[in-house]
Structure 1
């Protein structure tokens, strides 16, 4: 039987964090829904993949995908969503800073959306456990992005997100797209919901990003996403209704 929810975790060199995170996911989701966990190893140089492989043998709901070399977080998320078996996908970072206990806030609204108009539930971190420089850089980047894209969220970089799998796969794919999901889902006509989520200190290891590196790619990304929004397709083709004889109804 297919799971109700697929949980995708992009990781790179997170051997000391991934075990506790997967265990917390299972403890959170087991009483609520059928789930699978897809850990996407993005070219780790430590033994992250071997550690996850051991977990897969112990629990068939855990799956390991591997990139032979690092392709970035968006590529890892995209690979996980393609492989996902559930109609609803949730993502969270593999460093332990996104508490697994927040996942129901993401998938519950999508599971109960009878109208089928909600495409994305995006987390917004409160009481962030980051350095001052990282918080300041994030605040500046979020403010600039909000002014350019009008996406309605104060924290698009939060890894905690839930969305409809098919809607995600219909989005234009590009590097760093995971940071622009609210704007991209709105572009395609989906409703989005924003929920406050907790934020924890990194369990072990070091961040894979620098403020300078994010700033450099962010300028190009913003221009590109703004271009995509302005040139979105607004018309959708439909098949004409027919009579029993196959003639269009007039």
Structure 2
């Protein structure tokens, strides 16, 4: 059990909206994956759920002191939920994963190890999905989006849409915030002068419920965001190396 006075080694942030059927099995998997990592906390950020998600989380948290619950009164989107969780996190290293069960928590130790092995020069360990379990149309959509993004931003990352990420909390908080930030983290982390490591993770089918995303929901917003991120990168100049003098 984590001591209230000592910050945990790791914070796991899970954004959710209407995922009542997925909460209990995913929490159990996260607990099993993090057990060998030392002190940890899990922060579920409920982005305005209207189903039984809040009740499920309350029941689980009653027996798990490491499980914390945040709630958005109104739905503000996945990036906002991730940001709320990271800002509340007490650990220097944060891992994120989606709340639908498609991201396997068993890969959390591998992501953390890859991040720590890189030392301070590495700011992000990005999961890259293999064996995608989405529909053929959704896989095609993702392949096209990733190809366009990679060509425009040159972030060297095959799959930035994977929710499994490990990063230093201070690095994330230094990034410019906007909706859909979580999809452009490799490019923005590189913009801050850090390197990226990439870890292949096995994709799984959704445990329960239905996807909240559609093709036309993302298309034009994604194009606008891509243009905006390219502008941010173009406007960035040399990252200063700061030394404190006696």
For residue 60 of structure 1, the aligned residue among 56, 65, 83 is 65
Shift of 1:33: 2.2
What residue in structure 2 maps to residue 17 of structure 1?
A: 22
Cα pair 2:97 2:103 within 8 Å, conserved: yes
Shift of 1:108: 1.4
TM-score (norm 1): 0.94
**Aligned partner of residue 60 in structure 1, secondary structure:** coil
What residue in structure 2 maps to residue 107 of structure 1?
A: 112
Instruction: In structure 2, list runs of 5 or more residues that go unmatched.
Output: 1-5
| Cα distance in 2 for residues equivalent to 1:182 and 1:34 | 27
Larger CA deviation: 157-166 vs 50-59: 50-59
Q: Could you list the per-position Cα deviations for residues 217-240 of structure 1 after superposition, in whole angstroms to 9, with x for gaps in the alignment?
A: 100000000000000142527456
Instruction: In structure 1, list runs of 5 or more residues that go unmatched.
Output: 243-250
Cα 1:241/1:160, change in 2 over 3 Å: same
| Cα distance in 2 for residues equivalent to 1:198 and 1:33 | 24
What residue in structure 2 maps to residue 125 of structure 1?
A: 129
What residue in structure 2 maps to residue 246 of structure 1?
A: none
Q: Over aligned residue pairs, what C-alpha RMSD do you find?
A: 1.2
What residue in structure 2 maps to residue 215 of structure 1?
A: 219
Q: Does 1:75 align with 2:91?
A: no
Shift of 1:109: 2.2
**Aligned partner of residue 116 in structure 1, secondary structure:** helix
Cα 1:209/1:43, change in 2 over 3 Å: same
Cα 1:54/1:234, change in 2 over 3 Å: same
For residue 90 of structure 2, the aligned residue among 75, 85, 92 is 85
Q: Does 1:147 align with 2:129?
A: no
